Structure 1
């Protein structure tokens, strides 16, 4: 599940960085487009999952609609952001995803420790 959270964050990051690098600031139009993309991927998520025959990709495709939804929320909250600010927001969203990815060994350690403690009790 932590990998899926990271991929959601990185998709949102890419959607936020693209207009910023193109020199365009945030607007409600971008929020609407990202929301439309989220709705489209939510409606067709079964077809997206069917495109892959590998089991590790399926969870990412099932939840792919959340990335554009996160981007739409950021576009709406910061609708007057300049291109450089939009790049920063995209980088922060991507950084959160990478922190999640890098902390996976800690999650597994704490989970294993709690499992051992539960068995001992």
Structure 2
């Protein structure tokens, strides 16, 4: 379960950072939020979903590359969600939304030890409870 927590939080962090980079790049290019941009992001997400790799990338620096690549299609969908929440955003506001999505991703990354500590404490309580019922 600890591995699932580590992998899951890394996936969420990576997806948020890719979505943030997408929004920042679009904002820097001067593209404001619009229905066309929303459709573009959703089409990009669908394209990445249908072309996601099946090959084994293994682990690189302790990061499960396979799971990251197989869920990469969610990043444009997350960026599209930000555009959907603020449909009249200017290019500068799109950059700010990208910053907020990136901040949420980094917050998730920095809270990883808290998630693992909570899991360890719950496991210790569960183990202690099972020992006391066996007596």
Q: TM-score, normalised by structure 1?
A: 0.91
Whether 1:33 aligns to 2:37 is no
Cα-Cα RMSD: 1.2
Q: Which residue of 1 aligns with 2:133?
A: none
- The secondary structure found in structure 2 opposite 1:17 is helix
Match of 1:104 among 76, 89, 112: 112
Q: Unpaired runs of 5+ in structure 1? A: none
Match of 1:17 among 18, 24, 29: 24
Q: TM-score, normalised by structure 2?
A: 0.82
Q: Which residue of 1 aligns with 2:73?
A: 65
Query: Is contact 1:49-1:61 (8 Å) kept?
Result: no
Q: Unpaired runs of 5+ in structure 2? A: 1-7, 130-135
What CA distance in whole angstroms lies between the structure 1 residues aligned with 2:90 and 2:35?
A: 13
Structure of larger gyration radius: 2
What CA distance in whole angstroms lies between the structure 2 residues aligned with 1:35 and 1:112?
A: 38
- The secondary structure found in structure 2 opposite 1:81 is coil
Aligned length: 118
